Amino acid sequence: MGIFRKKSPEPETPDSHLTFFTVSGAKKFRTITREVFAEMGLEVHVQPGHAVDDSGREFGFWNVATACADQPQSVWRDLIREHLQRVLAGFDGPDPFDILDPADVARKTFARLYDEASVTGIDGYPHREFAPGIVEMIALDLPDTVSVFSHNNANKFGGFGALRTQGIANLRGLEVENLETLPAPGGGSFTALLGDSVYTASRALLLPDLASELLGKRVREEFGWLMSVPNRHQVVWHIIEDATVIPAVNGMARFAAMGYSDSPTPVSPHVFWWNGASYEQLTEVSDDGGLAIRVSPGFQAVLESITADR
């Protein structure tokens, strides 16, 4: 199968931790961040994905780095300073998990998908694998930010299972944003749900019911479906019914690669297939930096089954 390849004559290597930066861009970001900390009277130990001060407080880089990646370097210092001021105010203010009552927490709890590599200290938070490289966590939605439940905070409010049930229910209650049917080169189509909500991509957790609801009919599940979440504002799928899955894979791979590389809030550049029990990754990064299709024996069997009568 043909596949989109995004090439550059001499591409700079992406940073292994802040993947939306090149290695040199990430180095510059960390240098400026260290300087801003010093200007604010804090000495920190800078790590690839976070910084730690002398009192042991940890400052993750991902959110502020994604904001910087979408802006010219001339404004990075101001963005970092404003971000750190908000974070420090949060450290000094009351813990929302201590002041909210259970009813408030229930209304504000959402299941949310994250790029696994972006979560610093992930073992400190209850989570489960949703798809290779993507984890499901439980988030508390606050006016100015989102706070992820630690193990201790999850235990205060019923545990991961109960919070996940509530978080899924709250995802179901979100309004449908921008729903588009996109043509795939060579025939067929795929569906994209796009929006401003930080939980748009997390609605992938609702498949295939989400597709059934939005199409107004029960979708066919016999062969599974394709799914991708390029960034937190996009979820894309294709229900497998016939041979149009072949161009759909290629179309979704192009869409996911662009949605991932062009966003300051990336989740995954890959396309996945639901095999009846879990998601399998269908795309992989090739030696030249492009994306290639990887056909597993199970997916090959599906392709042979749906093309047998053609």
For residue 11, the model assigns a pLDDT of: 62
CA 260 to chain centre: 9
Instruction: Taking residues 173-187, report their average pLDDT.
Output: 93
- pLDDT tier at 189 (50, 70, 90 boundaries)? very high
Instruction: Taking residues 162-183, report their average pLDDT.
Output: 96
Q: Which residue has the higher pLDDT, 90 or 298?
A: 298
Among residues 245, 254, 220, 248, which one has the least CA distance to residue 304?
245
- pLDDT tier at 289 (50, 70, 90 boundaries)? low
Euclidean distance between the first and the last CA atom of the chain, given in angstroms as a whole number? 18
- Per-residue pLDDT tens for 23-40? 999 999 999 999 999 999
Percent of the chain with pLDDT over 90: 62
- Per-residue pLDDT tens for 43-64? 888 888 888 887 667 788 888 9
For residue 8, the model assigns a pLDDT of: 45
For residue 271, the model assigns a pLDDT of: 97
Instruction: Taking residues 162-176, report their average pLDDT.
Output: 96
Instruction: Taking residues 17-24, report their average pLDDT.
Output: 85
For residue 121, the model assigns a pLDDT of: 81
- pLDDT tier at 310 (50, 70, 90 boundaries)? low
Q: Which residue has the higher pLDDT, 265 or 59?
A: 59
For residue 146, the model assigns a pLDDT of: 83
272 touches 280 (CB < 8 A):
yes
